Structure 1
Amino acid sequence: MKEILITYYGFTDADLTIMIDTDKNYLQPTGKNIKAKISEMVAAAQDGDVLFLHFSGHGTQIPSADGDEKDGKDEAICPTDMNVICDDDLRVLLKPLEAKPGVKFTFIADCCHSGTLLDHDTVQISGPKSGGPPPPAIDMGALAGFLGALGQPDGRDFKNRALPFNDLCGMLSQLLGGAPVDARSVRDSMGTIFGADSSAKIQQFMSMYQALTAGTKGGAAGGAGGILQMLCACLAPPADQNGPSGAPANAQSGPGANYAAPPAAAAGTLAEPNLKINYTPGAKPPANEQLGADVGILITGCQSHETSADACPSGNPDKAHGALSNAIQTVIKQQQVQAPGQPITYRNLVIAVREMLGKTGFAQNPCLECSDKNADTPFIVR
């Protein structure tokens, strides 16, 4: 994506902040760092500026507070340290842009459950690509052909993004210096690790989990563990944490209502924005607190209930990528060959991406979430 921004949209290296979890020379994409950088970018934006956020990673959904999976859920992106960022977090971070109508913000969310991440009322493009039933599961031969068209050798190592509950416990145990973690202690472990840096929604979820597991005996806790497994589906291994035990020095156990005021940021991290979110998971905020219709243009990897494909065609995990990101880059490059210098609109870009993914067997259905006015404006540029 960096190549596209610099080659076709006038960005420079100095304009870009890149977070990569596989290279310690870069700022790590932790929940705290991502939220802080978005907050910083929004605060510094001036009339005429173009803001761009590209997230390629894992996504999940947080169930409603009563544990009924059929009720409301919050979509969330999953940073490398498992400190998830929910749709309500994004809404609060982007809310100041309502006072800056001359700023254009584009968000590409190449992750599972990315539909409705900004909770806009207007969705321009959604649903199955063909207008009929969802396409079948991805065919590896078609995937290999698509990757070949993108200059990739083959489609091996195509994987889903589920993280078994036992693996999650193992990761948390490592972060706690080897202390055992199981279904009974996992909620306190997450509070200990992330403390005041955790998403308000995760803190609310831990309260829900505690209520679900209260009074259970024997294997009864397994059902509640299944909900936590759903929460943590599609998570990547966590980044290293500060301190000899793996837990931040300022960590506090247990859930909280809001983000607390953070301590001074450690080297290699950004200051945590002080967000206040008091809504029940899955609940919509009042209309006057929802994000304005013209604030933000979201292109998603899939609908809110779907997963997005990820592949590692070269066999090198460092070169794994998302299908949406590659399709967007391919469409833009083709557009520039066919009509040099002519911009492509958001609507036409998403239509072309959906067509490309459909022809190559990808089941996911990318969406365009924005106002009517923004849908037919040029991609990224004003």
Structure 2
Amino acid sequence: MAKGNKWALLVGCNYPNTANELHGCHNDVLAMREVLTARFGFEPNHVELLTDKPGSPVMPTGANIKKALNSMADRAEEGDVLFFHYSGHGTLIKQPHNSSKKEEAIVPCDFNLITSMDFRQLVNRVPKGATFTILSDSCHSGGLIDKETEQIGPSATSDDTVAAEYHKLKEIPFQSILQYFMSLTSKISTDIGTHLVEVFGADASLMFQELQQAISKPLKPDEGILLSGCQTNETSADVEIMENGRKPCGAFTNAVQMVLKENLGPLSNREMVVLARKILVQQHFNRQHPCLYSSDENADKIFLSSSQKPSPK
């Protein structure tokens, strides 16, 4: 396989001056940018950073995030490594015409939800021989790439202990988002897609667009890799912990950073998730269990590499 380029999009949403404000998401993506350039060989001009810090030239709205992701997929070639790190709120939404089924979504700063269907469509566009890794530090992030194979999945919660003075869940309840958009559109409908399409038009998620069936492709083996901060039914934490110098951070992102500091050699995607789980247990963050979703082959590939699995230690 040809050695390719490495491209990254890092998105941190703190939702400043709102009832949903978080404190560690900007720190998460800044720390990740340093790791990508110092350890993984990403060129600084190949790492795009979007945060909702006041005064940011480009805000992480739903449209801007999808534009940046699509641009990354458009330029991808065989051997390239694509990486998307998201730190912010997540939510579960009701699927159109099927109120009993819920889908995972991330919550950009303008609440223009990006759903698992959007990520599935994006992964389907990645050329063969390139890898696309998503690291999502958000609530309900398990399964964020629609129908990707579960490699490391649910685990029982042992207790509710949390080792942090500051602790906030990275979740905006679906009902809160629905009420917000109902106030904007003055419509009583409980179908979130009705409101999102009216407010955002063509920039709304594919899940709510009439052409979604024509856009979606049949499932096939692909290069999508998801490292999620928690299971679908769990919440991820925005915290302040001693190991991080008492800076606010995402518990999962911080665990990944610690795994990389403690292991200088190459690690597979599977090893990354297993070791991150162990660190969260050691820190008594027992409410969230990181998961891995990918093909069998990609589960054992080196994290953020197009190479095969690491040599036995």
- Normalised TM-score (structure 2): 0.76
Equivalences for residues 303-322 of structure 1 within 5 A: 303-312=231-240, 320-322=248-250
Identity value in percent: 37
Distance 1:182 1:360, change over 3 A: farther
* Residue 136 in structure 1 maps to residue 159 in structure 2: yes
Equivalent residue, structure 1, for 2:140:
113
Q: Is the 8 A contact 1:20 1:26 kept in 2?
A: no
Q: Is the 8 A contact 2:142 2:232 kept in 1?
A: yes
Report the CA distance between 1:29 and its aligned residue. 0.9
* Residue 381 in structure 1 maps to residue 309 in structure 2: no
User: What SS does the aligned partner of 1:18 have?
Assistant: strand
Residue of 199, 202, 206 corresponding to 1:196: 202
Q: Is the 8 A contact 2:123 2:132 kept in 1?
A: no
> Alpha-carbon deviations, 1:39-98, whole Å to 9, x = none?
111111112211111011111111244564xx322111111110001111111122122x
Cα distance in structure 2, aligned partners of 1:2 and 1:116:
25
Higher normalized contact order (CA 8 Å, seq sep 6+, divided by chain length): 1
Equivalent residue, structure 2, for 1:359:
282
Cα distance in structure 2, aligned partners of 1:20 and 1:86:
19
Cα distance in structure 2, aligned partners of 1:299 and 1:3:
19
Q: Is the 8 A contact 1:135 1:361 kept in 2?
A: no
Cα distance in structure 1, aligned partners of 2:218 and 2:146:
11
User: What SS does the aligned partner of 2:37 have?
Assistant: helix
Count of matched residue positions in the alignment of Structure 1 and Structure 2: 267
Q: Is the 8 A contact 2:90 2:170 kept in 1?
A: no
Higher share of residues assigned strand: 2
User: What SS does the aligned partner of 2:50 have?
Assistant: coil
Larger radius of gyration, structure 1 or 2?
Answer: 1
Cα distance in structure 2, aligned partners of 1:381 and 1:5:
12
Cα distance in structure 2, aligned partners of 1:167 and 1:60:
9
Distance 1:183 1:320, change over 3 A: farther
Report the CA distance between 1:168 and its aligned residue. 7.1
Equivalences for residues 267-306 of structure 1 within 5 A: 276-278=211-213, 289-290=218-219, 292-306=220-234
User: What SS does the aligned partner of 2:135 have?
Assistant: strand
Considering only aligned residues, what root-mean-square deviation do their CA atoms show, in Å? 2.8
Cα distance in structure 2, aligned partners of 1:96 and 1:334:
35
Report the CA distance between 1:183 and its aligned residue. 7.3
Cα distance in structure 1, aligned partners of 2:281 and 2:293:
19
Distance 1:124 1:46, change over 3 A: same
> Alpha-carbon deviations, 1:138-182, whole Å to 9, x = none?
32xxx23xxxxxxxxxx32x1234557679756886xx6xxxx77
Q: Is the 8 A contact 2:273 2:290 kept in 1?
A: yes
Distance 1:334 1:73, change over 3 A: same
* Residue 61 in structure 1 maps to residue 71 in structure 2: no
Report the CA distance between 1:9 and its aligned residue. 0.3
Distance 1:166 1:86, change over 3 A: closer
Equivalent residue, structure 2, for 1:328:
256
One-letter amino acid matched to 1:78:
V
Distance 1:44 1:161, change over 3 A: closer
Distance 1:73 1:171, change over 3 A: closer
Cα distance in structure 1, aligned partners of 2:176 and 2:140:
23
- Normalised TM-score (structure 1): 0.63
Name stretches of at least 5 consecutive residues in structure 2 with no aligned partner.
1-31, 307-313
User: What SS does the aligned partner of 1:305 have?
Assistant: coil
Residue of 246, 249, 272 corresponding to 1:349: 272
Q: Is the 8 A contact 2:181 2:196 kept in 1?
A: no
Distance 1:66 1:136, change over 3 A: farther
* Residue 10 in structure 1 maps to residue 10 in structure 2: no
Residue of 68, 84, 88 corresponding to 2:113: 84
Q: Is the 8 A contact 1:126 1:368 kept in 2?
A: yes
Report the CA distance between 1:119 and its aligned residue. 2.7
